[in-house]
Structure formats: C-alpha cells, structure tokens
Amino acid sequence: MNTPLIETIALTDLHPATDTFLVDVHEGLGQAQKAIPAKYFYDARGSYLFDQITKLEEYYPTRTEMGIMKAHIDAMIERMGPQCLLVEYGSGSSLKTRILLDHLQQPAGYVPIDISKEHLLRSAEALALAYPGLPIRPICADYTTAFQLPDANGARPVVYFPGSTIGNFEPEEARAFLQRIVQIVGAGGGMLIGVDLRKEVPIIEAAYNDAQGVTAAFNKNVLARINSELGGTFDLNCFRHHAFFNATHSRIEMHLESLGDQCVRVADRYFPFRYGETILTEYSYKYTLEAFASLVASAGFEVEKVWMDEDHLFSVQYLVAR
C-alpha cells in the first residue's frame, strides 16, 4: 500500500470534503426513514470489500457481465470506434475495462472516475503498468456533480458505466445522470453500460445476502467510516445487515437494522433508534429491457444494441445520444 505512485499518473482531485459527509449523515439520520447515501460505502476498505463481493458464488452480476463482454467484444469495439477517449464512471478496480483496452483501436486515453481515491489511484497505477503509453487521467470526484473532463486534444469521449451501478440511482436521479452523459458525448456519441435485469427473486436476493457475510461487512463499513471519520459511536454488533427485493419498485433495498433500542452520537448530534428500525443504505434497481429503454429515451439516449448472457440475467447495452 505504500509504494510510490507512478509519476505519469496525474490525479484530478475533486473529492468531496469530509464536512459534506457529516452534513449528509446528519441529514440522513434525521429523516423518518433513516438513510445514508450509498456513495459513502467506498473508502479503501469499502472498495476492497466490494471487490471481494464480486468474486462470491452468489454474486452473479460481475462474472456474467465479464462473460458478455468477452463474448461480444468485437461488436462493442466496432461501435466505440477508433481513437476514442474512454471515460469510465465508478471505475473501481477497472477490471472489465481491461477487456476494452485490450481491443480498442488507438485509444486517445482513459479517464477513470471514482469517489474512492486510494483505490482509484492503485487501479490507475496497475493499468499504467499493463498499458504503457496509454494516457491515464484519473479523476476523484462524486459523479453526481458536474465537473470538467480533461482535454484530450479534442478526442471523442465514449462513456463506459459497467457493474449496473446505474441501478444505485433512483429513476429520476438516473435520468439526470444520463442527461449529463448526453451532454458529454454529444449527438451521435455513445455509452456502453452494464444493466442488471429483473429475474426470479431468490437469485437476486442471494446475491445481496452471501453466506460468508461479505455483503454484511460491506454494508456495515459505512458505520465504521462514520465512527472513524466523524466521531460516531455506532456499535457495529448492535446492527444487522438486511437486504430484500422490493417487487413494487423492482429494486433490492439494503438496510442496517437496529438490534435494540439505542442512541448513537455522530459529532454533536444524537440519534435514537428503536428496536427493528433501519437505516437505508443502498438501492439496486433491476430493470426489464423495456423499462430501461424507456428510461434512457427520456434522457435523450437510444438503445442501439443489447447483449445478454443466455439466461438473461444481465445486459450490456450500447446507447447512442440523439
């Protein structure tokens, strides 16, 4: 963890300040349904735990998406075209990105964007070693906010948004996010996106309730962060991970449930919890192809192509801005 970063990697750091974290936690815990935004899962430990989740037997999305990418990479690359600037939102470990980088024709550069700074830099460093000569310009930012992309000598940006991270947005937020991407790629520009599909509930619920408890540790990591960064007094043993599929809204809901009546302090504010009361920590929407097509259409995109695995668990889609 302490090796010096490769000098060629210049990080643009627009990382949200700690006081934003405090304001969001105070506001979220003050609501009738207590909630903490999912983006706060991701410090170095949260990113590590997410990577562990992706390797779990129950967690079908990552291996399925990888399989779709590998099976259809030529068709994807043809649509993305030569000399593009690959811009990835929520890049994490950039593992699926390597499938693209192995095939893209003379990419102008790679811009990974992620909120988890240390993990972003380590991933960029690993990519720089694997792809010498590829300009890599990581941006540590909250991608729900507006920010400038680096100028890459006028290269055409193509956006990559894998992992069904789009599912973490509520539909209105997803629309606003996609509208910003339309502005970035411009008319005729493209976006390659991974979208998890609606399917039998037991398959979905198992993916968020693994037997080893890694997802539970990931969920509780946000409490650990509040304790260490904001002076919180959460006892992690007094909360349990609870994830279920809400069929009405077609989404997984991840909560932390209080195992007793208790009071928790975060900085200068106290928050009472009743037995069984929950903190909502994440949504993960599961789309039908029709619902997703209608969402992207409302944001100014058209679905040009959908690739799926044979069981139709997951989709990778190429969207074109109108």
Q: Is 91 in the site for ligand SAM (CB under 6 A)?
A: yes
Nearer to ligand SAM, 142 or 205 (CB): 142
Task: Single out the residue of 25, 76, 165, 266 in contact with ligand SAM (rule: CB under 6 A).
Answer: 165
Task: Single out the residue of 28, 112, 162, 190 in contact with ligand SAM (rule: CB under 6 A).
Answer: 162
Q: Is 42 in the site for ligand SAM (CB under 6 A)?
A: yes
Piece of 46-54, 68-76, 215-223, 293-301 that binds ligand SAM (CB under 6 A)? 46-54
Q: How far apart are the first and last CA of the chain?
A: 44
Instruction: Characterize the bridge pairing of strands 139-140 and 12-13.
Output: parallel
* Token pair listed for 61: 């999305």
3-state class (DSSP) for residue 48: helix
Alpha-carbon span 159 to 67, nearest angstrom: 20
The string of DSSP codes covering 215-255 is: HHHHHHHHHHHHHHHH-B---GGGEEEEEEEETTTTEEEEE
Minimum CB–partner distance for residue 52 and ligand SAM (Å): 12
Alpha-carbon span 222 to 256, nearest angstrom: 10
Task: Give me the amino acid identity at 248.
Answer: T
* Token pair listed for 214: 């890694």
Piece of 102-110, 158-166, 212-220, 294-302 that binds ligand SAM (CB under 6 A)? 158-166
Q: Is 50 in the site for ligand SAM (CB under 6 A)?
A: yes
* Token pair listed for 109: 């550069």
Q: Is 143 in the site for ligand SAM (CB under 6 A)?
A: yes
Nearer to ligand SAM, 14 or 297 (CB): 14
Minimum CB–partner distance for residue 270 and ligand SAM (Å): 28
Q: Which residues contact 51 (CB under 8 A, 6 or more apart)?
A: 92, 93
Instruction: Characterize the bridge pairing of strands 190-196 and 314-321.
Output: antiparallel
Task: Single out the residue of 58, 142, 257, 277 in contact with ligand SAM (rule: CB under 6 A).
Answer: 142
Q: Is 107 in the site for ligand SAM (CB under 6 A)?
A: no
Using an 8 Å Cβ cutoff, are 318 and 292 in contact? no
Q: Is 52 in the site for ligand SAM (CB under 6 A)?
A: no
Q: Is 118 in the site for ligand SAM (CB under 6 A)?
A: no
Minimum CB–partner distance for residue 254 and ligand SAM (Å): 12
Q: Is 122 in the site for ligand SAM (CB under 6 A)?
A: no
* Token pair listed for 269: 């504010």
Minimum CB–partner distance for residue 282 and ligand SAM (Å): 9
DSSP 145: S
Minimum CB–partner distance for residue 274 and ligand SAM (Å): 29
Q: Is 163 in the site for ligand SAM (CB under 6 A)?
A: yes
Q: Is 307 in the site for ligand SAM (CB under 6 A)?
A: no
Q: Is 112 in the site for ligand SAM (CB under 6 A)?
A: no
Which of 286, 285, 264 is CA-nearest to residue 274? 264
Minimum CB–partner distance for residue 280 and ligand SAM (Å): 15
Ranges within 1-40 binding ligand SAM (CB under 6 A) = 39
Q: Is 167 in the site for ligand SAM (CB under 6 A)?
A: no
Using an 8 Å Cβ cutoff, are 249 and 172 in contact? no
3-state class (DSSP) for residue 226: helix
Task: Give me the amino acid identity at 23.
Answer: V
Nearer to ligand SAM, 195 or 303 (CB): 195
Task: Give me the amino acid identity at 81.
Answer: G
Instruction: Please give the residue ranges that form the binding site for ligand SAM (CB under 6 A).
Output: 39, 42, 47, 50, 54, 62, 90-92, 96, 114-116, 142-144, 162-163, 165
